[in-house]
């Protein structure tokens, strides 16, 4: 179970709850981000299809935060923030970069595919450069109000 906001069920996440995951910028650890995204999706009330969408989208978010990197070092910081109308997720590279062979020669093409996938699966998404780090973010709105 994951902790809940005051007054909520212990197996749910409510408005104002935030989960932060920081992990080394390694391709084999992006699966962590997807696992956490799955767990959180169920706890904020998304259905199985939305869960699968978010699992894929979060992985792409991590890859976009590492765009343009040619060496890997540092950490990725993933933040999940629950509000009454949506789940907001951001991934900050903090100067981290992915292992060189991860995206390979198809890197630019894969980045375009990441953008397409996010555009199709979430309501809003973007990427900004801030103080030498890259932050990719997305917003997935709820179909109904928070119970």
Q: What are the residues binding another protein (CB under 8 A)?
A: 1-5, 10, 13, 17-24, 26-32, 34-35, 52, 55-56, 59-60, 63, 75, 98, 101-107, 109-111, 113-114, 116-117, 120-121
CB closer to another protein, 114 vs 135:
114
Residue with tokens 């933040």: 79
Sequence-separated (6 or more) residues with CB below 8 Å from residue 138:
57, 58, 61, 88, 89, 90, 118, 122, 124, 125
- Cβ proximity of 48 and 93 under 8 Å: no
**Minimum CB–partner distance for residue 139 and another protein (Å):** 18
Q: Can you give the C-alpha Rg of the chain in angstroms? A: 15
**Minimum CB–partner distance for residue 29 and another protein (Å):** 7
Residue (of 42, 58, 14) closest to 146 by Cα position: 14
**Minimum CB–partner distance for residue 26 and another protein (Å):** 7
CB closer to another protein, 30 vs 91:
30
Sequence-separated (6 or more) residues with CB below 8 Å from residue 30:
59, 62, 63
CB closer to another protein, 1 vs 132:
1
**Minimum CB–partner distance for residue 123 and another protein (Å):** 15
CB closer to another protein, 56 vs 87:
56
**Minimum CB–partner distance for residue 145 and another protein (Å):** 20
CB closer to another protein, 18 vs 84:
18
Q: Where are the alpha helices (DSSP H) in the chain?
A: 30-43, 48-65, 107-121
């Amino acid at each position: 179970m994951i902790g809940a906001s005051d007054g909520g069920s212990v197996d749910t996440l409510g408005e104002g709850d935030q989960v932060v995951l920081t992990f080394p910028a390694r391709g084999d650890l992006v699966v962590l981000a997807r696992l956490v995204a799955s767990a959180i999706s169920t706890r904020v009330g998304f259905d199985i299809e939305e869960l699968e969408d978010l699992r894929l989208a979060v992985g792409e978010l991590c890859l976009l935060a590492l765009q343009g990197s040619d060496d890997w070092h540092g950490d990725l910081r993933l933040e999940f923030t629950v509000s009454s109308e949506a789940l907001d997720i951001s991934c900050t590279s903090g100067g981290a970069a992915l292992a060189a062979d991860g995206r390979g020669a198809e890197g630019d093409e894969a980045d375009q595919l990441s953008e397409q996938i996010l555009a199709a699966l979430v309501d809003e998404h973007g990427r900004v450069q801030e103080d030498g780090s890259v932050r990719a973010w997305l917003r997935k709105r709820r179909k109904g109000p928070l119970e």
